[in-house]
Amino acid sequence: MILLFDFAILIFVLICAVAAITVKDLLSSVIILGAYSFLLCLLWAEMGAVDVAFTEASVGAGIGTILLIVAVSKTTRRSKD
């Protein structure tokens, strides 16, 4: 049961990771990266590493997303490649 939960989250993490690097809109990419971070945080918490999950939630999903959004707002929103 808990292994099934692990695999379900892992599949979502993989989907988010692939989507974040293929999406052309950089703002969407940042938001997907935030979702990736949050799902990874769920995975850490479920595996028992609560301290790592805490860091992932506050740094990855909190500050990292804000800083990347500010960086996108200062540059272009569309990816060139």
Partner 1 sequence: MIRAYDDIIVKTIARILTPFIQIFALYVIMHGHHSPGGGFQGGVILGASLILLFITHGLKETKKRITEKGIAVLSSLGVLIYSGIGLLCIILLGNYLDYGKLSKLLHIVPAEARSLGILGIEIGVGITVMAVMVSIFLNISTGGTLLEDEEDNTR
Q: Largest Cα–Cα distance of the chain, in whole Å?
A: 46
Q: Provide the minimum distance between the beta carbon of 74 and partner 1 in the complex, in angstroms, as a whole number.
A: 6
Candidates 2-10, 21-29, 35-43, 68-76: pick the segment binding partner 1 (CB under 8 A). Answer: 68-76
| DSSP-derived secondary structure letter, 79 | -
Helix, strand or coil, per DSSP, at residue 22: helix
Rounded-to-integer distance, Cα 7 and Cα 30, Å: 24
Q: Does 14 bind partner 1 (CB under 8 A)?
A: no
Q: Which residue, 14 or 55, has its beta carbon nearer to partner 1?
A: 55
Q: Does 70 bind partner 1 (CB under 8 A)?
A: yes
Q: What number of other Cβ atoms are within 10 A of residue 20's Cβ?
A: 17
Q: Does 50 bind partner 1 (CB under 8 A)?
A: yes
